[in-house]
Amino acid sequence: MMTKVKLLMTAATASFLAFGNAAFAQDCPHGDLDARYCDTDGDLVADVPSDPSQQLDPDTLIFAYTPVEDPAVYKTAWADFLTYLEEKTGKKVVFFPVQSNAAQIEAMRSGRLHISGFNTGSNPLAVNCAGFRPFTIMASKDGGFGYEMEIITYPGSGIEKMEDIKGKELAFSSPTSNSGFKAPSAILKSDYDMVADRDFKAVFSGKHDNTILGVANHDYPAGAIANSVLERMEQRGVVKPDQVVSIYKSQTFPTTGFGVVYNLKPELQDQIKDAFFSFDWEGTSLQEEFEKSGEEQFIPMNYKDFWEVIRKIDAANGVKYTCQ
């Protein structure tokens, strides 16, 4: 039976509920992870099963990139890398165009997604509920990485500072997004004493690019977005710089984390890691797309350290995740 995961968001709690065949709880330490996973080494991600019979070695590997913009754009952008991944693993690799963060996590949890890039805010959900093991992040040539959350408006909107959002609509992308919901919600509450439904009306666009286009076209008076997405859209000419105005810029956050599902066989996980770290970006479709936001290599990272600030934002928002 297919496992489905549905995201339910309340003011204080985000819950992932999995319907279908429930996995048996394991008698092992697992911290915040779902009971189906173990974390014996304390690195906060699921251990690879020690029993070879529980390890996966699929003939076809399914890859997905976080659904921040038009999936067709990213199928083309990832084409050269996926060809290289096929060479390194000896397996067919298929790009899976997901339409939402919840669908992406559901796919990995149910065994239909093997390699993925989850957005910043979805990483804790994917790690805890889907057995995601992130190990790399995109960076610039000098090793710099990350993006900032910005709150944007359009010229002449009447919004010149954060306090001007009161009484108006503020567009978010999705409840699982860090820059598209979690971080701005925490900042608005702690720094400006502003909360949704009391001081402003929260609306959800579904994706960062929808928010950006909505603000640029005056559908939303303001929106919270990841500026790396805005930079790429401006580079492609989808929006013009003079269509939006930024009124707030946050600290730098880690960007999309890339990794594998926990139960791929160890040798295959090593081959996939090697593909990421040995891939030559020069002249490829990946470089053509991501150099627009200053990213030109993959560097090693770990979830425990790199996502500490995101877990703190979740805690500040009172967000808790349960997987059943």
Q: What does the pLDDT look like over 64-81, one tens digit per residue?
A: 998 866 777 889 999 999
Q: What does the pLDDT look like over 157-195, one tens digit per residue?
A: 999 999 999 999 999 999 989 999 999 999 999 899 999
What is the token pair recorded at 312?
Answer: 């703190």
Q: What does the pLDDT look like over 225-275, one tens digit per residue?
A: 999 999 999 999 999 999 999 999 998 899 999 999 999 999 999 999 999
State the Cα–Cα distance between residues 161 and 177, nearest whole angstrom. 23
Q: Which CATH superfamily is domain 147-253 in?
A: Periplasmic binding protein-like II (3.40.190.10)
Kindly report, as residue ranges, where domains of CATH 3.40.190.10 are found in the chain: 4-143+254-316, 147-253
Q: What DSSP string runs through 124-184?
A: HHHHHHH-EEEEEEEE-TTS---EEEEEEE-TTSS--SGGGGTTSEEEES-TT-IIIIIHH
E strand map for the chain = 4-9, 14-19, 60-65, 92-95, 115-118, 132-139, 147-153, 169-172, 201-204, 222-226, 245-253, 257-261, 297-300
Instruction: Give the CATH class of 4-143+254-316.
Output: alpha beta
Check residues 313 and 286 and name the one with the higher pLDDT. 286
Q: How confident is the model at residue 153 (pLDDT cuts 50, 70, 90)?
A: very high
Q: How confident is the model at residue 25 (pLDDT cuts 50, 70, 90)?
A: low
Residue 69 has a pLDDT of: 63
Phi, psi of 17 (to 5 degrees): -110, 125
Nearest to 118 by CA among 110, 16, 109, 127: 127
Q: What does the pLDDT look like over 208-229, one tens digit per residue?
A: 999 999 999 999 999 999 999 9
Q: What does the pLDDT look like over 81-112, one tens digit per residue?
A: 999 999 999 999 999 998 888 899 999 999 99
Q: How confident is the model at residue 131 (pLDDT cuts 50, 70, 90)?
A: very high
Work out the number of other CB atoms within 10 angstroms of the CB of residue 4: 14
Residue 9 has a pLDDT of: 34
